[in-house]
Amino acid sequence: MKILVFAHDYGVGGSQLNAIEIAATLRDMGQETILFGRPGPLNKRVDELGLEFIEAPVHRGRPSPGIVRALTRTIDQRGIDILHGYEWPPALECSIASRLRPRTRSVSTVMSMSVAPFLPMAVPLLVGTQAIAHYERLQGRQTVVVQEPPVDLDFNRPDGRGGQTEFRRRWGLRYDAPIVVMVSRLAHELKREGILAAIQALALVPADRKIQLVIVGGGPAETEIRLAAEKANKELSGHRVVLTGEMDDPRPAYGTADVVLGMGGSALRGLAFGKPLVVQGEKGFWRLLTPGSLPDFLWQGWYGIGQDPSEGQARLAGILDGLLTDTERATELGRFGLQTARERYSLKQAAEIQLGVYEAALERKPEPSHQLAMDSAAALKFLRYESRRRLARLRGRQTSDDFNANPVAISRPEVVAHG
């Protein structure tokens, strides 16, 4: 099978890293995989894994006619069987290209917190949580498969010592004070609130804990977060906030951590290092991973929504104080997290799920009139979406990531049934 994988960009991010690492695993399982897209920092990982990369043309808007032409040209030249787009712009462009080359099938992965409603309903869809899959089925999507974000457990492992000494030295981290690590894109949507809450929470933890909060990442909210960190460092007694900026390889940060804070793929990579995990969300949500909380995360994903943003600092401070007081429990929870990662989040398991979706897509013979009706409905929804975006831009209200800004929040069916 010849597969072209199109990530929405090759900047640092969990969805892109999943695309690359699963493609490499499929290649090792005997499939021919090619990566496509605009180059970025993660091309270093592409090169490390020995994957072929085709550079996409520069685009101004999405979907891009130039990108669609490049996709169809690659189909013709390389005999591509599957176009796999990650997140909505590549997914839409892959869908259009596959319509122009009917022998080729398109598949979509969305690891955002909700799915763009204008993705054609007939396109097989992989999502990261049971909650999103349940919601999408209710909307009438034909094929929705849960593929939890995987972790390369060979690349990310507790016994990987490389770079930790240098990381401590570079950022002046002490050995006699616990290190709490966040690896995150510093984005306004989804991330900013929790990162600022983590900085503010330090003021509520007793000074003798001497927490070192290390924030790894870059992004549009970096200036605001850096100012908050500088302010905290002037006012805090015993604690310290360190911002490293973006790191192509954050493994030394995870390896150095005593506790990891995070959501999504970043949270799961923390588990792979055997660290106790506090899951970050929005509106004051912070929750420790334990055997009791795991079922909720398996349903909703590694994320949550609280009731009141102002409660987040106190909630996180209480969790951190408890973990740092009871180090035996922290170690036990780190082991539990590592066990969870090994049982549920291996790349091989994710690649097998993905391969099954590809095989089913190739076997399916869509009925042309039905497909045309669903494509037309999707096009109408996209036009409405673009109209709302343009209106929002005129009003100065546009968000940079619409489908992380509006996460799906739906209870498990059995919880609804029992009230």
Q: What is the pLDDT of residues 35-44, one digit of tens each?
A: 999 999 999 9
In a domain, 156, yes or no: no
Band of pLDDT at residue 419, cut at 50, 70 and 90: very low
- pLDDT on residue 365: 80
Q: What percent of the chain has pLDDT over 70?
A: 93
Q: What are phi and psi of 187, to 5 degrees?
A: -100, 155
- pLDDT on residue 244: 97
**Among 306, 322, 344, which residue terminates a domain?**
344
**Among 295, 325, 344, which residue terminates a domain?**
344
Q: Are residues 75 and 141 part of one domain? A: yes
Model confidence at 12: pLDDT above 90: no
Band of pLDDT at residue 397, cut at 50, 70 and 90: low
Coil/strand/helix, residue 295: helix
CB-CB neighbours of 417 under 10 Å: 8
In a domain, 413, yes or no: no
Q: Looking at residue 241, which CATH number applies to its domain?
A: 3.40.50.2000
Band of pLDDT at residue 395, cut at 50, 70 and 90: confident
Q: 218: which residues sit within 8 A by CB, 6+ positions away?
A: 12, 185, 186, 245, 246
Q: Write the DSSP string, 82-138.
A: EEEEESHHHHHHHHHHHHHSTTSEEEEEE-SSS--TTS-TTS-EEES-HHHHHHHHH
Model confidence at 79: pLDDT above 70: yes
Taking residues 190-216, report their average pLDDT: 94
Coil/strand/helix, residue 167: helix
Taking residues 400-416, report their average pLDDT: 54
Q: Are residues 273 and 322 part of one domain? A: yes
Report the range of poorest mean pLDDT among 165-179, 242-256, 313-327, 364-378.
Answer: 364-378
Band of pLDDT at residue 11, cut at 50, 70 and 90: confident
- pLDDT on residue 399: 55
Model confidence at 250: pLDDT above 70: yes
Q: Could you give the strand order of the β-sheet that contains 144-146, starting from the edge strand earlier in sequence?
A: 52-55, 32-37, 2-6, 82-86, 105-110, 125-127, 144-146
Q: Widest CA span of the chain, in angstroms?
A: 69
- pLDDT on residue 376: 78
Q: Are residues 187 and 174 part of one domain? A: yes
Q: 183: which residues sit within 8 A by CB, 6+ positions away?
A: 216, 217, 247, 250, 253, 254, 260, 262, 266, 269, 270
Q: Are residues 23 and 87 part of one domain? A: yes
Band of pLDDT at residue 415, cut at 50, 70 and 90: very low
Q: Mind listing the pLDDT tens digit for each residue in 348-382? A: 999 999 999 999 999 988 777 667 777 777 778 87
Q: H or E segment at 244?
A: strand 240-245
In a domain, 238, yes or no: yes
In a domain, 159, yes or no: no
Report the range of poorest mean pLDDT among 241-245, 321-325, 412-416.
Answer: 412-416
Q: Are residues 382 and 295 part of one domain? A: no
Model confidence at 404: pLDDT above 60: no
Q: Are residues 278 and 235 part of one domain? A: yes
Model confidence at 339: pLDDT above 90: yes
Model confidence at 418: pLDDT above 50: no
- pLDDT on residue 220: 94
Report the range of poorest mean pLDDT among 53-67, 161-175, 315-329, 399-413.
Answer: 399-413
Q: Are residues 110 and 175 part of one domain? A: no
Mean pLDDT in the chain?
Answer: 89
CB-CB neighbours of 244 under 10 Å: 18
Overall residue count recorded for the chain in this entry: 419
Q: What percent of the chain has pLDDT over 90?
A: 68
Q: Are residues 107 and 70 part of one domain? A: yes
Model confidence at 138: pLDDT above 60: yes
In a domain, 415, yes or no: no
Predicted structure pTM score = 0.77
Q: Are residues 287 and 174 part of one domain? A: yes
- pLDDT on residue 61: 79
Q: Write the DSSP string, 311-349.
A: GHHHHHHHHHHHHHH-HHHHHHHHHHHHHHHHHH-BHHH
- pLDDT on residue 294: 96
**Among 329, 344, 359, which residue terminates a domain?**
344
Residues of the domain holding 376 = 2-150+347-405
In a domain, 410, yes or no: no
Model confidence at 75: pLDDT above 50: yes
In a domain, 376, yes or no: yes
- pLDDT on residue 205: 93
10 versus 366: which is more confidently predicted?
A: 10
Q: Are residues 138 and 69 part of one domain? A: yes
Coil/strand/helix, residue 161: coil
The number of folded domains in the chain is: 2
* Whether the bond into 63 is cis, omega within 30 of 0: yes
Tell me which residue has tokens 């091989």. Answer: 348
Band of pLDDT at residue 21, cut at 50, 70 and 90: very high
Q: Are residues 116 and 194 part of one domain? A: no
In a domain, 411, yes or no: no
Coil/strand/helix, residue 214: strand
Q: Are residues 306 and 398 part of one domain? A: no
